[in-house]
Amino acid sequence: MNFADSEIVNAILIERGMYPVRDAELADIVLVNTCSIRENAETKVWNRLKEFRKLKTQNKLLTVGVLGCMAERIKDQIIEEEQLVDIVVGPDSYRDIPRLIEEVEDGRKAVNVLLSLEETYADIAPVRTTGNGVSAFVSIMRGCDNMCSFCVVPFTRGRERSRPLGSILNEICQLSDQGYKEITLLGQNVNSYKDGNHTFSTLMDKSSLLYPEIRFRFSSPHPKDFPDELLYLIAERPNLCNYIHIPVQAGSDSMLERMRRPYTRDQYLQLIEKMKKIISNLSLSTDIIAGFCGETEEEHQQTLSLMREVEYDLAYMFAYSERERTLAYRKFEDDISEVIKKRRLSEIISQQMSIQHRRNQNEIGQRHLVLVEGTSKRSAQQMSGRTDNNKIAVFDRKDFEKGDYVEVEITGATSATLIAKPISKTGLVDYYSAVLEA
Ligand code: 5AD
Ligand code: SF4
């Protein structure tokens, strides 16, 4: 989400005659896009800001700004106490950045952290300077109304609102013209997307029909409202990837209730079963929080057992980090010690690593269509890309290029990566037509 936001800010600044540089030492303005989701994310930002303070002492004219979720939370602290920052801009005020920059030039500090009920930046074409030129994020909605008790997002990003369908399809059209091959549609809860009668399924239907050579992914749906029609659409359309990220957070009813997640363990497991039945070769991933308020050993064991039952291909696993303003902060006690949180988290991670290893080993001998994203980080002689079911595959470079679709056969696997033998370059439609015929 923050990558997508930075691309919007890029567009706003470029429109006003500013331009990006690679090195902060060459910049007149440094804007740090921030995340508040966990303490750790905020600590990283503070450390970055301290680095920029050194630059500020070398270059008295340097302007430093903080954008995004941390803005509202720390606006007073950041400007008055720390003297680190000149500009503070919340996630709905990016259009105001050029004005705020001018204000700073007059020697003042500048702040705009107003949240909006309407802003979706629908008319702004993001300028993508940091991506790989093959896969892009497209933001389809902003904010969140779910109010999970642990989560600060509804407070930092405001109310949920959807971007008009036409503006999203227009952006996808431009990305297609620019040669992008993979698009991830982004929202805090994509199944709440709504533009008149258009739902998220309408958007997936239209995008996949209009751009058959582009792969579509999305992040994230909420388990409370995953429609069957979307599952059937994913099963039927070759360019809707057979990979779903479906955050569960915890494996027991009691914990889900305290977290204000409106589903039970059974309902979640039934949804997963239905997904696996409808979509063949489906890969699943999730988010898990360890050590939330009042978590008992028994509740922790239920999280572990749910993860064994589902067998996720990937999981994002976190220790609970208390956030001000949330319901949990106001009503519950953050009473699980750091030692226990860490121990539970490491049990969750090590179990997940062995599940992933086993699942990836099962891929050996299978054929996949890989979209090449670039050369592998480990070796310039190897290319790296993703399979339809979102696994990273590496294989010999030969004369393949970034953006090629390559049919591969999997020959080896670790818990994180598939090793593959390339068979031939192909197209998405050609590949799946051949698979259907066979
Ligand atoms: N502590 C730890 N993890 C959190 N997440 C959200 N809020 C917190 C928190 N306070 C995790 C959830 C969510 C993901 C994006 O971040 O698992 O799905
Ligand atoms: Fe946070 Fe819950 Fe909204 Fe996700 S759905 S952003 S976890 S409040």
User: 187: Cβ below 6 Å to ligand 2?
Assistant: no
CA of 37 to the centre of ligand 1 (A): 6
In this structure, what token pair is assigned to residue 298? 């028994």
User: 188: Cβ below 6 Å to ligand 2?
Assistant: yes
208: enclosing H helix or E strand? helix 200-210
Alpha carbon 110 to its chain centroid, in Å, reads: 29
Give the three-class secondary structure for 195.
strand
The angle formed by the CA atoms of residues 306, 309 and 312, to the nearest 5 degrees, is 85
CA of 77 to the centre of ligand 1 (A): 24
User: 320: Cβ below 6 Å to ligand 1?
Assistant: yes
End-to-end CA distance of the chain: 39
Q: What is the pLDDT of residue 81?
A: 67
Average pLDDT per consecutive 10 residues, the chain (438 residues; last block may be shorter):
94 95 93 94 92 90 94 78 86 96 86 93 91 94 96 95 97 96 97 97 98 97 96 97 98 98 98 97 97 98 98 98 97 98 98 97 97 94 96 97 97 96 97 89
The angle formed by the CA atoms of residues 93, 99 and 100, to the nearest 5 degrees, is 70
357: enclosing H helix or E strand? helix 338-361
CATH numbers and ranges of domains, the chain: 2-112 (3.40.50.12160), 367-437 (2.40.50.140)
Q: What is the pLDDT of residue 82?
A: 67
Q: What is the pLDDT of residue 406?
A: 98
Q: Rounded distance, CA 260 to CA 203, Å?
A: 28
In this structure, what token pair is assigned to residue 115? 């949240």
CB-based contact 215:428 (threshold 8 Å): yes
Q: Rounded distance, CA 48 to CA 32, Å?
A: 8
CA of 7 to the centre of ligand 1 (A): 24
Q: In terms of DSSP bridges, do strands 87-89 and 63-68 run parallel, antiparallel, or are they unpaired? A: parallel
Q: What is the pLDDT of residue 437?
A: 86
Q: What is the pLDDT of residue 84?
A: 86
Q: Rounded distance, CA 218 to CA 154, Å?
A: 20
CB-based contact 190:140 (threshold 8 Å): yes
User: 248: Cβ below 6 Å to ligand 2?
Assistant: no
